[in-house]
Amino acid sequence: MDEHGLRALIREVEAGRLSRRVFIQTMVGLGLTAPMAAQMLASAGVAQAQPKSPAFTPAKRGGGGPVKILLWQAPTLLNPHFAVGTKDQIASRVFYEPLGSYDPEGNLVPFLAAEVPSLQNGMVTKDGLSVTWRLKKNVTWQDGKPFSADDVIFNWEYVSDPATAAVTAGPYKDIARIDKLDNHTVKIVFKNPTPFWSAPFCGATGMIIPKHLFEAFKGAKSREAPTNLRPVGTGAFKFVDFKPGDIVRGEINPSYHVANRPFFDQIELKGGGDAISAARAVIQTGEYDYAWNLQVEDDILKRLEQGGKGRVDIAATGNIEHIQLNNTDPWTEVEGERSSAKSKHPTLTDPAVRQALNLLVDRASVQEQIYGRTGLATANFLNAPEKFRSKNTRFEFTIEKANQILDQAGWKRGSDGIRAKDGKKLKYVYQTSINAPRQKNQQIVKQACAKAGIDIEIKAVTASVYFSSDPANWDTYNHFATDIQMYTTTMTEPDPGRFMDQFTSWEVSQKANKWQGRNKTRWQNTEYDKVWKAAEAEMDPVKRAALFIKMNDLVIQNVVVIPVVYRPRVAGISHRMRDAVQSGWDVDGWNLPYWYRQT
């Protein structure tokens, strides 16, 4: 980063538009130490943030009127175990809760649990083989039935059944059994030492559904449950109405298990539109209180903030906007399935082609021209927490070198300027969701590829379709029925185990699992699988971090994906909203019961 860019970032911290934490994390990613980054701020006269005043405590439950949230990628279902997109997780979280979640610093905080297990309180064993959870005793489902240990055990059984095809199965697969110690105490016993023992039942993949309403729909009947669209949870709001692809409405839960919460009487999650209109509706006009995932050019966000009724809120996380290269053939059907794991891509399996494409993505320009403070160029897929970030990778943009690699590999230009070999041309369909920054990103890549003899056809899919869970629609990112695709994958917990399992062979997205597998590229590598399994059971934190760094390096060296920008979480928040705190380690609205509006 040049001096001009550095000063610009410091000014963002001074103005309160960029947190000290994100600035320091950015500088560390560029090779500085955290103390050096902090000293840079001090030298520029940027003071440490003052301690916050005590949290507001409502005198009674309700009375706050409606809270209106914009999810411009509209929710399509309300079962958290089928939520293939973040927007479905956010909508599900309005009604369902996990045992615990993670605050902005990555600390575990209780929700349905009475307390957080630890070595100190004896609820976590030193060998990592078991954890005991004590549940809150005053919790009821929104239909009046009591929440108990039976519900916890059922959720494990539900997601572990292969016929259920739950997208949340990963964190639960290594549970050997769950012992019911009493109605409000469970002991989870793992098959192997489990360093990240809070993965099941916590955060975005930990939301708990009621046994009494879902028991008849476990397994093959899982998609038939009426409550997939009409949730009955334990959360601060009760279900009122849901129009898939449009709107979710809820009302205050008068029996919510936290005293004097929630503050708001109604909640509305409105889907559709685009990120720019969402940003405008919160930041400029104040029609809405909160807007999620503002993937908008930073220059536009800054203009909206001038004299507006809201602000941009940026929170550190591990999210990565990246380009995926298909390892399978999206244009040939194998047993009725495109991009079948039984096929190979005719040209993208050539390492030279992958290396050339990696050199043709101008990350620096994408950051400078599109994202600014909201997207930081990176060579790594895994960028956070800092101890897991690889220092072994570098990114480079050079059309000349890309041409040299393709020449040496025998890819010759034809009369049309497109390279070919053995009758196969370097012609690709490159898809992503409809979103202005993404279309600009596509154009930057397309122009560079053209100069290297690679023809790119751009495809843009409506976000509500692209990120849907429709098993019959080949335009979804789950199907990945094109050559190249791009999106942001989110890291919803402060541990990379779940995040990095999306390159394991057992997570391949395919017809057999209703295209719910997390491995969209269908890349399979024995060494990677071995390293992931080793990390899964490694109790030494230093050794475990080294294993995840190795995983990242394998993905980057093999050009399975091309990281573009590391994306802090960006939301629009009304100036009147208080305690609408983003956590990079859970979905937006993770602490929704504690939001309130300044009167």
Average predicted confidence (pLDDT) for the chain: 91
Residue burial 23-38, b: 16+ Cβ < 10 Å; e: rest:
bbbbbbbeeeeeeebb
User: How confident is the model over 151-180, as a mean pLDDT?
Assistant: 95
Supply the pLDDT for residue 51.
Answer: 37
Supply the pLDDT for residue 49.
Answer: 46
What amino acid occupies position 208? I
Choose among 201, 194, 191, 186: nearest CA to 134: 186
What amino acid occupies position 572? G
Contact call for residues 240 and 142 (beta carbons, < 8 A): no
**What's the distance, Cα to Cα, between the start and end of the chain in Å?**
43
Choose among 112, 176, 177, 183: nearest CA to 149: 183
CATH 3.40.50.10440 fits 320-567, yes or no: no
State which H helix or E strand residue 197 sits in.
none
User: How confident is the model over 478-506, as a mean pLDDT?
Assistant: 94
Confidence of residue 516 (pLDDT cuts 50, 70, 90): confident
pLDDT, tens only, 45-54: 565 544 344 4
61-77+235-317+568-599: which CATH number, 3.90.1150.10, 3.90.550.10, 3.40.1360.10, 3.40.190.10?
3.40.190.10
Residue burial 445-477, b: 16+ Cβ < 10 Å; e: rest:
bbebbeebbbbbeebebbbbbbbbbeeeeeebb
Q: Is the dihedral of CA 36, 40, 43, 49 positive or negative?
A: negative
Residue 251 burial (CB count, 10 A) = 16
Given a cut of 50, is residue 60 above it in pLDDT? yes
CA–CA separation, 205 and 431 (whole Å): 27
**Range from 64-68, 392-396, 539-543, 555-559 carrying the lowest mean pLDDT:** 539-543
Confidence of residue 170 (pLDDT cuts 50, 70, 90): confident
Contact call for residues 94 and 273 (beta carbons, < 8 A): no
Looking at CATH, the fold of the domain delimited by 96-228 is given as: Dipeptide-binding Protein; domain 1 (3.90.76)
User: How confident is the model over 3-10, as a mean pLDDT?
Assistant: 61
- The torsion defined by the Cα of 508, 513, 515 and 520, in degrees rounded to 10, comes to -10
Supply the pLDDT for residue 8.
Answer: 62
pLDDT, greater one: 58 or 395: 395
Supply the pLDDT for residue 307.
Answer: 84
> Angle at which helices 351-359 and 399-408 pack, to 10 degrees?
170
Confidence of residue 85 (pLDDT cuts 50, 70, 90): confident
Q: Per DSSP, what are the bridge partners of residue 461? A: 433
Q: Do 96-228 and 61-77+235-317+568-599 have the same topology in CATH? A: no
* Domain spans of the chain, in order of start: 1-51, 61-77+235-317+568-599, 96-228, 320-567
CA distances from 518 to 230, 276, 479, 500, 522 (A): 26, 29, 11, 10, 9
Supply the pLDDT for residue 53.
Answer: 40
- pTM, to two decimals: 0.73
Supply the pLDDT for residue 54.
Answer: 44
Is 146 in a helix, a strand, or coil? strand
